[in-house]
């Protein structure tokens, strides 16, 4: 019986486990691998969540940028319109000054 016990422990040591390592070590290694896999999965999920947030922020930034660009374009159109109005007023003032000068010259003659 002693011999069987010795053979059984030698058999378990020679099958699957490296020399000097009990089968419990293999279970710990598998548990460590499972732990690392779970941590990697958690890290992957965190990175995916971060990527989604960054994508959302980028989309919002693009929309904001487009909004600002439209506001700038509208402001430029408003400035052009006001410039035309001011030029028209300036032209009328110059015409009025020219008519006034013509009338003054005519009265003085």
Task: Please give the mean pLDDT across all residues of the chain.
Answer: 84
Task: Give residues with Cβ within 8 angstroms of 23, minimum separation 6.
Answer: 12, 16, 17
Task: Give me the torsion for CA of 50, 51, 57, 61, rounded to 10°.
Answer: 150
Domain boundaries defined on the chain: 25-108
- The H or E element spanning position 10 is helix 2-14
> What is the distance between the alpha carbons of residues 54 and 88, in angstroms, rounded to a whole number?
50
- pLDDT for position 1: 47
Confidence band of 12 (pLDDT split at 50, 70, 90): very low
- pLDDT for position 37: 86
- pLDDT for position 22: 54
- pLDDT for position 34: 85
- pLDDT for position 108: 83
């Amino acid at each position: 019986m002693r011999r069987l016990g010795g053979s059984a422990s030698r058999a378990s040591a020679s099958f699957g486990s490296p020399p000097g390592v009990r089968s419990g070590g293999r279970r710990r290694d598998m548990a460590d691998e499972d732990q690392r896999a779970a941590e990697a999965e958690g890290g992957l999920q965190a990175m995916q969540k971060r990527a989604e947030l960054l994508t959302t922020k980028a989309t919002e930034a693009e929309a904001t940028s487009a909004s600002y660009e439209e506001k700038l374009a509208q402001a430029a159109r408003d400035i052009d319109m006001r410039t035309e109005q001011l030029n028209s007023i300036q032209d009328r003032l110059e015409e009025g000054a020219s008519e006034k000068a013509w009338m003054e010259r005519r009265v003085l003659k």
